[in-house]
Amino acid sequence: MQAFFVLLSALVAFIPVEASPILTWDGNYNDGIHLAVSPKCGSLSGTVTDVNAGVELFKIDTIVSFGDSYTDGGKDDGSPLLPPVIVPPNVLAGGRSTNGKVWIENIADDIGARLMDYAESGACTDLSIWPDNPKKVDFIGQMKTFLGQGNKLDSATTLYSIFFGINDYEDSKVDGDHLNAAAQVILNQIQILASPPTNARSFLLTDVYGRGVHTTSGEAYKQTIFNGLNDFHHGRNVSAPLKVAFADFSRIWDGVLGSSPGYQAFGYTNTGACTLCSSNCTVDGWCQDPAHYFYWIDGHPSKETMRIMADYAEEVLTFCQVA
């Protein structure tokens, strides 16, 4: 909890520019890697934006997380995670697809919450939509595991985190454009979680489906989810209004991989993957300076990137509040 209060103090102390704060951290924070972009706060109705409609982060003591390798903490049954330690030559820190903690793990630590992680590397939303998904894991299976445990969680203090889209987008290149159906799967699973016996009431949705690439169908996928969240927040298609938030991580990817403001503004020296080192490598075949690489393994954020993803989501939850 103390770490989050330090973060919030820094946020509050910063004077917003155009009502959207960009943090400037000293070099001791996160190895000098910091946010150089801000959430684009807006309304829950209309086009996709960053928004928090009622999620009270300080009241959360349990986070239940579903997703793919970006959220996979090395366990897929909600049990305590292994320490985020790299033991060469293994590139996975305690089973994570990064060299440290994943983003949702950082948020849980910041607020002192218990994390129940069901995410699985390679997961898509629904294998029936994407039969050629390389790994036979999906949101449906994660839900089966969670619901089968009969967990008794307090709806008032439990946040449900859902982060899919990357593998669905990649699958659409093989199985055809079914991204709208994938979005509906996410909304359907939220409806299930919001119903008895779980009776979930607080949800955080995040996305970076194209990792710096934007397509018409991908944007429509996000919009379908966003529209559904608006309906749920107003009590439509659910038994009671839900507290919902949406954090669009594409602003980080666009900022790092694009020219505005560019990767150097975040403190990176390289936008590649440390473990794909080709020259001046360590004895393990990794880059010499992993702390300043955007990715750790190919296409997967370094622990420093995971940290600023958590910072970004916390900014959304703090500054993008709407009724």
What pLDDT was estimated at residue 27?
61
Per-domain residue ranges for the chain? 2-319
| Cα separations in angstroms, 46 against 49, 50, 52, 127, 162 | 8, 11, 14, 30, 21
Reported as a single tens digit per residue, the pLDDT across 132-189 is: 999 999 999 999 999 999 999 999 999 999 999 999 999 999 999 999 999 999 999 9
Backbone angles phi, psi at 245, to 5 degrees: -140, 150
Q: Which two tokens stand for residue 187?
A: 């909304």
Reported as a single tens digit per residue, the pLDDT across 54-83 is: 999 999 999 999 999 999 999 999 999 999
Beta strands (DSSP E) in 151-289 are: 158-163, 202-207, 243-248, 270-273
**pTM, rounded to two decimals:** 0.93
Q: Which two tokens stand for residue 114?
A: 């218990």
CATH superfamily of 2-319: SGNH hydrolase (3.40.50.1110)
